[in-house]
Amino acid sequence: MAMRLLMAPWMRSRSRVMVPWMRSGWRSMAPRMSPRPAIESMTPRTVGIYGYVAYSASKFALRGLGEALQHEVIKDNIHVSIIFPPKTETPGFLDVLKGRPELTGIIAGSSSGMKADGVAKKALDGIKSGKFIIPCNFEGTMLAVATAGLSTQSSPIMAFVEVTTAGLMRFSALCYQWSWFSTIENYYAKNRKHE
């Protein structure tokens, strides 16, 4: 509660400065360019994963920020992008892998990673084309389709894919969830036997 009270004025004051600047200030600095704000959120934002309680929550919030911001600036032809890179092979990520819980590693170990250059290329291409959601690999695309909900979609083709595959994506998501919960139950059952 106290954190919410502290953050609310901070967020309001920043948005009072940034949104008007994006609408008009940017044009005076770069008159031939259209501003393209981008938010990086990481793929775990699409689902809650064991061991990422605070991390997933903050990444979920970034999507909401991007959606609300897109509504505020679209009339000025400003297109917001949210980039969802997978595990990205960086020196910092190797440190994260060392510090996360063993069970998180087991659950998240099935997802593939990418090199930083590949993520950067996908992100820049998506930003330039005005995409709202920018997944960087096949798994990210499937998660973006599965969690589309009321999200903005600038591509009629992707909108069609989202609508026609919604049932299949939900079934697939339930299978993943079942697998993760089974992994969690088995992990704790195995550890109880060793106590």
Class of residue 160 by CB neighbours under 10 A (exposed 0-12, middle 13-18, buried 19+): exposed
Catalytic pick among 50, 52, 56, 59: 59
Class of residue 9 by CB neighbours under 10 A (exposed 0-12, middle 13-18, buried 19+): exposed
Catalytic (active site) residue 55: yes
For residues 154 and 140, what is the distance between their CA atoms, to the nearest angstrom? 17
Alpha carbon of 160 to those of 53, 126, 138, 150, 156: distances in Å? 33, 19, 17, 14, 6
Catalytic (active site) residue 24: no
For residues 41 and 62, what is the distance between their CA atoms, to the nearest angstrom? 6
Catalytic pick among 15, 55, 155, 172: 55
State the catalytic residues: 41, 55, 59
